[in-house]
Structure 1
Amino acid sequence: MLTFYKTIDNRTVQIDEAQSGCWINAVHPTEQEIAYLTDTIGVLPEFVKASLDEEESSHIDSDEGQTLVIVDYPSAEEDDNANENTLLYTTLPLGVIIMKGYVITISLYENLNIEDMANGRVRGIRTDQKTRFLLLLLLRISQRFLIYLRQIDRISSRTERTLHQSMKNKELIQMLGIEKSLVYFSTSLKTDEVTLNKIMRGKFIKLYEEDQELLEDVLIEIHQAIEMCNIYSNILSGTMDAFASVISNNLNIVMKILTVITIVMAIPNIIFSFYGMNVKGLPVPVWWFPTLVAVIACVIATIIFKHKDMFH
């Protein structure tokens, strides 16, 4: 799907066709739309292909007067395999192509960052100021990382409280999913940081004086997101290790109690086995005597195990 936007009277509005100084947004474009971008607009085919590669990592490239910036943005979607509504966090690539007359964004999926830009939720957008447009988009992406990291922290805290009450596989699997999401975020944030540092050097994209402060704000947000991601990862890793120890300890307690019960229950069986043999000379060969001995032996064994705190 192709949509076209242009800033008119300080407002970004949707237009019907591409014009000089406009923003072209391509979301999962068809073959005909890709042909339009390459043949009519003049976008390099390899730039389009790289932007639509789901495994493409963040980087910056320039060729024939066009600059491609691929950044990873965070994505949250519902887990269809979960019994309850839980979110899966991952990262996806977004390609931004800066060329003469146009700024073009290409992605495989719709994302909230582009929607915010298109719906006027980001202040200061001008489609004819391509460098500033790119920096505002990067700032929005970095802020989205921070929002999702706070959500992950809340989910982690809620799951941890649930685990304190009941050790279930569902909560443990959810914690593992959160840990995996943090790994995705950490990797993508570090590659985005490298790309931003290349932009800051001004070799690929011309930076204007008024854009320097905005770029510094983006770097600050990225650094903050990286620090938060590292902190949450360390906390979650320690929590998972602690719960693994708790689960192992609980298993040992259960096995200890079952062993004690087995020993106590085995005492009557031993006594009755003696009196069940077809031999002579057993003391008091009447039914109540072995029963009484078995009961007394069980009580004594129970008292000894209770004194040694074997039932906890």
Structure 2
Amino acid sequence: MLKTFISQEDDIRQIKQFEKGSWIALSNPADSELAEVAERYDIDLADMRAPLDEEERSRVDVEKGYTMIIVDIPTVENRGGRDWYDTIPLSIIVTNDVIITVCSEDTPLLHPFMEGRIRNFYTYMRSRFILQILYRNSQMYLRYLRIVDAESDKLELHLQNSLQNREILILMELSKTLVYFATSLRSNEVVLEKLTKLPRIKQYPDDEDLLSDVIIENKQAIEMASIYSGVLQGMMDAFGSIVSNNLNNVMKIFSILSIVLNIPTIIFSAYGMNLNLKGMPLSHTVWGFAIVWLIALVLSVVAWIYFRKARLFR
């Protein structure tokens, strides 16, 4: 999908034609759209397609006539009725006339810009636009990191009585998310360092504070991802131990029940043998069957009480 926007006074509107100072937004674009923009602004088609590869690394490429900046942005993927988080590349291409963004998805990162909800945003102030995208990107990372932390807190509530692997599998997915986030944020940090030294990207005087804020937000996201990853790893280890311990407790109860039930089984097995009745205790009385049942029941109750006194059911 190809959309073109341009700032007019304090508003932004969508236009149908390419104009100088406009923003061309390509999300999940068709080959024809990529080719059209590439031909119009003399951009290598391979560079236009680069962010469509999920494995594309973050970098800054300075080419003749344009500069391409690729950063990793967070995205949400629904699988099995749950939201999972991953990262995908976003390309920002700056030419002399326009700024172009290319992404494999219609990312919510850019929606506030399209809707005019970002203060001091102008499509013709391209360097500021880049910093505003990077700043909002860092904020999205921070928001998703807090969501991941909240998800791990919810799982912790089910930890004590868990006997299944479901919670551990969810924790593994969350742990993978944090690894992806941390890796992408570090790559983005390298891009930010290059931008501070790139003379082609003109910076306005008011942008110095914004660049500083972007760097701070990105570093904070890196620290949060590292902290949450360590906490999550410890929680996974605890989950495994607790699930194993809970399973051992269940097996212990079953073993105790087996011992208690084996007492009457042994007694009844002895009376079920093909022996002379004169040699079997209580075989001479009509109450023998009831007495044997009572003895078996008493012994089972005594064994049960013993195991409870020994606190083996806890």
Larger mean Cα displacement after TM superposition, 87-96 or 198-207: 198-207
**What is the DSSP-based 3-state SS (H/G/I as helix, E as strand, rest coil) of the residue aligned with 1:96?**
strand
> Is 1:295 aligned to 2:291, yes or no?
no
Q: Deviations over 1:31-60 (max 9, x none)?
A: 221221121222221210212222212111
Structure 2 partner of 1:191 = 187
CA contact (8 A) 2:267 2:296 kept: yes
Among 141, 145, 149, the residue aligned to 2:145: 149
Structure 2 partner of 1:32 = 32
Structure 1 partner of 2:113 = 117
- Which aligned pairs between 1:18-97 and structure 2 lie closer than 5 A? 18-79=18-79, 81-82=80-81, 86-97=82-93
Cα 1:301–1:164, aligned 2, differ >3 Å: closer, same or farther? closer
Q: Deviations over 1:147-198 (max 9, x none)?
A: 1112222222223224446555544433332222222211111111111111
Structure 1 partner of 2:280 = 282
Cα distance, 1:252 vs. partner? 0.7
> Is 1:249 aligned to 2:278, yes or no?
no
CA contact (8 A) 2:109 2:133 kept: yes
Cα distance, 1:301 vs. partner? 1.8
RMSD: 2.0
Paired amino acid for 1:283: P
- Which aligned pairs between 1:199-238 and structure 2 lie closer than 5 A? 199-202=195-198, 205-238=201-234
CA contact (8 A) 2:175 2:229 kept: yes
Structure 1 partner of 2:3 = 3
Cα distance in 1 between the residues matched to 2:160 and 2:294: 44
**What is the DSSP-based 3-state SS (H/G/I as helix, E as strand, rest coil) of the residue aligned with 1:112?**
coil
Paired amino acid for 2:43: V
Cα distance in 2 between the residues matched to 1:171 and 1:283: 56
Q: Deviations over 1:82-129 (max 9, x none)?
A: 3xxx21111111000011111111111101121111111111122222
Cα distance in 1 between the residues matched to 2:161 and 2:269: 44
Structure 2 partner of 1:14 = 14
Structure 1 portions without partners, runs of 5+: none
> Is 1:99 aligned to 2:88, yes or no?
no
Cα 1:31–1:202, aligned 2, differ >3 Å: closer, same or farther? closer
**What is the DSSP-based 3-state SS (H/G/I as helix, E as strand, rest coil) of the residue aligned with 1:43?**
coil
Cα distance, 1:208 vs. partner? 4.4
Cα distance in 2 between the residues matched to 1:29 and 1:17: 17
TM-score (normalizing by structure 1): 0.91
Cα distance in 1 between the residues matched to 2:280 and 2:161: 53
Cα distance in 1 between the residues matched to 2:147 and 2:265: 58
Cα distance in 2 between the residues matched to 1:36 and 1:152: 40
CA contact (8 A) 2:182 2:222 kept: yes
TM-score (normalizing by structure 2): 0.91
CA contact (8 A) 2:161 2:246 kept: no
Cα 1:59–1:204, aligned 2, differ >3 Å: closer, same or farther? farther
CA contact (8 A) 1:275 1:290 kept: no
Cα distance, 1:303 vs. partner? 2.5
Among 109, 123, 132, the residue aligned to 1:136: 132
Paired amino acid for 2:94: I
Structure 2 partner of 1:309 = 311
**What is the DSSP-based 3-state SS (H/G/I as helix, E as strand, rest coil) of the residue aligned with 1:113?**
coil
Structure 2 portions without partners, runs of 5+: none
Cα distance in 2 between the residues matched to 1:92 and 1:306: 57
Cα 1:41–1:109, aligned 2, differ >3 Å: closer, same or farther? same
Cα distance, 1:217 vs. partner? 0.7
